Amino acid sequence: MAELEDDAREPTLVELIQKVRAYHPAADLNLIQRAFVFAEQHHRPQRRKNGDPYVGHPVSVAHIVADMRLDEGTICAALLHDTVEDTPATHEDLVACFGGDIAHLVDGVTKLSKIRFRSKEEKQAENFRKMLIAMSQDIRVILVKLADRTHNMRTLEHLAVDKQQVIAQETMDIFAPLANRLGLGALKCELEDLSFRYLYPERFKELKGAVNKRLAERKDYVDKVIDEIRGIVSDAGIGGAEVGGRPKHFWSIHRKMLRQDIQIDKVYDAIAFRVIVDKQSECYHVLGLIHEKWRPIPGRFKDYIALPKPNRYQSLHTTVIGPDGQPIEVQIRTSAMHRVAEGGIAAHWKYKEGGKLEQKDSERFDWIKRLMEWQKEFDDPSEFLESVKVELFADEVYTFTPKGELKVLPRGSTPVDFAYAIHSDVGATCSGATVNQHIVPLTYQLKNGDVVEIIRSKNQKPNKDWLKFVRTTRAKDRIKAFIKKEQRQRSLELGEQLLDKELRKYSRSLLRMRKGEELEKAAKALNLDSVEELVVQVGMGNLTAEAVAHQALGDEGVAKSQKAAIAAPITAITKLIDKVRRRPGGVVVDGLDGVKHSIAKCCSPVPGEPIVGFVTQGHVISVHRKGCMQTLALEGQRQVDVTWGESAGSGYPVAIRVMTDSGVPGLLNKMTKVFSDLKINIDAAVCAEAPDGRAENVFRFHAKHLDELTVVTRKLESLRGVHGVTRVRD
């Protein structure tokens, strides 16, 4: 557990040099001294909030970096990391004095302080984007940044309370989980405890006092357990083993108390006992000895040696009933595993040019690549930042392909997430899955050790309903991209039809005008990139076909075309209307009430929705919802203005689909009660099992108005067990 001292003495340059020389005798110490002189000169006029010279901060950051045992280039970057942002020094100055490698590291850490953003959230997201870009090119960037944040957190008491809260929350949300994913266990614990201290000061103070008191009271017990473990290890002939016990960090204890709703005196495993041996085989030998000595608690054993965490953490964890019947946690690992557990990526750092990792290490941190891919695809900074938090915080579940390939996914992931983890095409065509040779619904939440086989179909496409249960950002991103592409294609087709129809009023056609320059000029005038984008915007309803036609033809061209096209349409429509038989209520056609009409089954419009009418060959007005795809086939028919009348009679036929959990007692009764409470008769109901294992319920009834349909939908959606309600159109 990290020591949280308020008045710790700032370390010096001499101590820094000694620390670096101890682990890296060949380091260029003169380069480090020159970096210190450069930083000291440029920061000399500046003071920290506590009144100390500012240069003490970069020196302290360099000490934290040195504790990670990094190379002299990274030490120099730590000393210089604030010079470009906070002093007159420039990037070019750093290149001239220290070379491009160190200057690049400093640039990666430098904040985007000179760019104006629309919000704090956007600034935070953009800062993180830049850090990711630099981090993907040289992992040392994030190590310096974490060291910088750690020292800022150690001296946070000198800032105003509101700033303390903001910085502590950002540290808890982003930097502590980031340290965890990089395997920096000691740094992660310290950042969490420091954040805890400022986010919940009273609770932290109370817990710290209680833990320290409890440790003093249990000192004899801790010593007794350590002696007994040493005894059984020694008797087994395992030499050189280190045995110790230390308390878990405060934030971990706090979370356990909240999770289990217990007080500190009930947290028996607040102290973790650790056994460090030389060889991996000795880890399992010691585990067997511990289990022979004390009874293990079922479900509390984890083998992170056989299945390491993505950050390369390896250890055996077991909880047993120790002396006096008290539960104790024992962690067993080798010395090499312990170095990785404490120092993470820095513990197996290869001093290669450009900060590159060896291939086997790079594969362990491919999540950095995933973050890099995602940051390019989010327009909304807050959405991107939330996806990062999900990726950093997620507890992992270990799953396997039928061939034994390991796939590590966030806890709560489904077969669809698994499919997208294999390949985007596999995810897009996923129609089902088997887990441990049993068919499961796509909503099934995967568990550790599950063997997953994806069932594919060439007719399957990503479903927007998948967004309700997929867990990984990759799956969500690919599904959204497909839906967006599909919607764009539909908008393009509809826009072409609407625009072509409008242009024909002026004796033009879309095909002919695409060969000229009028539409290109219209797109440019409307600040659109291309004619295709112009057509898409018409299809989406963001632009009207009439406005685009006027923009393309100009006032003179429109007037000329209108004059040439004046003819019989209005007269012809009037004659048709006069011929048809009228009936009361319903729809008003071209200002006349009671004209014979039919409601199109393809879109089933109801009062409250915008509608359009077409005179069919049988002299009947066919009423469609505006935007209905079937109206494209009626292009040759006469269009008339139609509006809803004052009376809807008994209503208009509609159908809705309600997706629910299967086998929920009384749910069907609750759904039908929604209709009866609203005095709506159900004309027909069909209930069946959907392919994903849920229940699909289709109800047909008559709605008098869109508002009535909305009320029905909302009431059904509020029922427990209902996943979604959608409109069904023939």
- What is the pLDDT at residue 370? 54
Q: Give the chain's largest Cα–Cα span.
A: 109
For the chain, the C-alpha Rg in angstroms (whole number) is 34
> Per DSSP, what are the bridge partners of residue 396?
410
Q: How far is CA 591 from the centre of its chain?
A: 52
pTM assigned to the model = 0.52
Q: In the block, which residue shows the tokens 């020292």? A: 151
Q: In the block, which residue shows the tokens 């949280």? A: 4
pLDDT tens-digit series, residues 93-133: 999 999 988 998 888 777 534 434 445 555 556 666 665 66
Whether residue 462 is predicted with pLDDT greater than 60 in this model: the reply is yes
- What is the pLDDT at residue 130? 60
Report the b/e string of 509-521 with b at 16+ CB within 10 A: ebeebeeeebbbe
- What is the pLDDT at residue 575? 45
pLDDT band, residue 195 (cuts 50/70/90): very high
Whether residue 577 is predicted with pLDDT greater than 60 in this model: the reply is no
- What is the pLDDT at residue 31? 93
Domains of the chain: 13-199 (1.10.3210.10), 215-347 (3.30.460.10), 363-480 (3.10.20.30), 482-565 (no CATH), 569-644 (no CATH), 652-728 (3.30.70.260)
Lowest mean pLDDT among 262-276, 390-404, 428-442, 709-723: 390-404
- Give the other-Cβ count within 10 Å of 598's Cβ: 13
- What is the pLDDT at residue 571? 45
- What is the pLDDT at residue 454? 93
- What is the pLDDT at residue 1? 41
Lowest mean pLDDT among 354-368, 384-398, 528-542, 622-636: 354-368
Tell me which amino acid residue 334 is. Answer: T
Lowest mean pLDDT among 203-217, 372-386, 509-523: 372-386
Closest to 83 measured CA to CA, from 101, 57, 65, 60:
57
> Rounded to 5 degrees, what are φ and ψ at 199?
-80, -35
DSSP annotation string for 509-554: -HHHHTTSSHHHHHHHHTT-S-HHHHHHHHHHTSS-HHHHHHHHHH
Q: Are 453 and 403 a contacting pair, CB within 8 Å? A: no
Distance between CA 174 and CA 194 in Å, rounded? 14
- What is the pLDDT at residue 568? 40
pLDDT tens-digit series, residues 684-706: 888 888 777 788 888 989 888 88
Q: Are 592 and 577 a contacting pair, CB within 8 Å? A: yes
Identify the H or E element spanning 409. Answer: strand 406-410
- The DSSP 8-state label assigned to residue 582 in this structure reads B
* Residue among 28, 86, 533, 590 flagged as catalytic: 86
Distance between CA 187 and CA 150 in Å, rounded? 8
What tokens appear for 278 in the block?
């030389």
Mean pLDDT across the stretch 577-583? 39
Exposed (0-12), middle (13-18) or buried (19+): which is 406, by Cβ within 10 Å? exposed
Q: How far is CA 547 from the centre of its chain?
A: 39
pLDDT band, residue 323 (cuts 50/70/90): confident
pLDDT tens-digit series, residues 373-424: 544 555 554 555 555 555 555 567 778 888 877 787 888 899 999 999 898 8
- What is the pLDDT at residue 576? 41
- Residue 397 has, within 13 A of its CA and on its CB side, a CA count of 20
Whether residue 285 is predicted with pLDDT greater than 90 in this model: the reply is yes
Q: Is 702 helix (H, G, I), strand (E, B) or coil?
A: strand
pLDDT tens-digit series, residues 519-546: 888 888 888 888 888 888 887 777 788 8
Q: In the block, which residue shows the tokens 């992170």? A: 304
- The DSSP 8-state label assigned to residue 172 in this structure reads I
Q: In the block, which residue shows the tokens 């993180």? A: 128
Lowest mean pLDDT among 438-452, 580-594, 661-675: 580-594
- What is the pLDDT at residue 464? 85
Distance between CA 145 and CA 125 in Å, rounded? 15
- What is the pLDDT at residue 434? 92
pLDDT band, residue 452 (cuts 50/70/90): very high
- What is the pLDDT at residue 247? 73
Whether residue 354 is predicted with pLDDT greater than 60 in this model: the reply is no
Q: How far is CA 444 from CA 393, 410, 411, 426, 432, in A?
A: 21, 14, 12, 17, 11
What tokens appear for 350 in the block?
């290869």
Distance between CA 273 and CA 244 in Å, rounded? 6
Mean pLDDT across the stretch 605-615? 85
Whether residue 6 is predicted with pLDDT greater than 70 in this model: the reply is no
Closest to 62 measured CA to CA, from 53, 52, 73, 46:
73
- What is the pLDDT at residue 365? 52
Mean pLDDT across the stretch 156-166? 89
Tell me which amino acid residue 17 is. Answer: I
pLDDT tens-digit series, residues 611-620: 888 877 666 7
pLDDT band, residue 41 (cuts 50/70/90): very high
pLDDT band, residue 508 (cuts 50/70/90): confident
Q: Where are the alpha helices (DSSP H) in 120-276?
A: 120-137, 140-154, 161-170, 176-181, 185-199, 201-217, 219-235, 250-260
* Residue among 85, 303, 593, 661 flagged as catalytic: 85
Exposed (0-12), middle (13-18) or buried (19+): which is 657, by Cβ within 10 Å? middle
85 catalytically annotated: yes
Q: Are 657 and 671 a contacting pair, CB within 8 Å? A: no
pLDDT tens-digit series, residues 124-150: 566 666 656 655 567 788 888 889 999
Q: How far is CA 513 from the centre of its chain?
A: 44
- What is the pLDDT at residue 197? 92
- What is the pLDDT at residue 510? 83
- Between 619 and 286, residue with greater pLDDT: 286
86 catalytically annotated: yes
Lowest mean pLDDT among 35-49, 617-631, 709-723: 617-631
Whether residue 592 is predicted with pLDDT greater than 50 in this model: the reply is yes
Closest to 250 measured CA to CA, from 182, 190, 173:
190
Q: Where are the alpha helices (DSSP H) in 430-472?
A: none
What tokens appear for 582 in the block?
């009228």
Order the strands of the 592-593 sheet from edge to edge.
Answer: 592-593, 587-589, 642-644
Distance between CA 646 and CA 538 in Å, rounded? 31
Residues 6+ apart with CB under 8 A from 25: none
Mean pLDDT across the stretch 664-681? 86
Closest to 479 measured CA to CA, from 416, 422, 539, 536:
416
Distance between CA 601 and CA 654 in Å, rounded? 9
Q: Are 607 and 704 a contacting pair, CB within 8 Å? A: yes
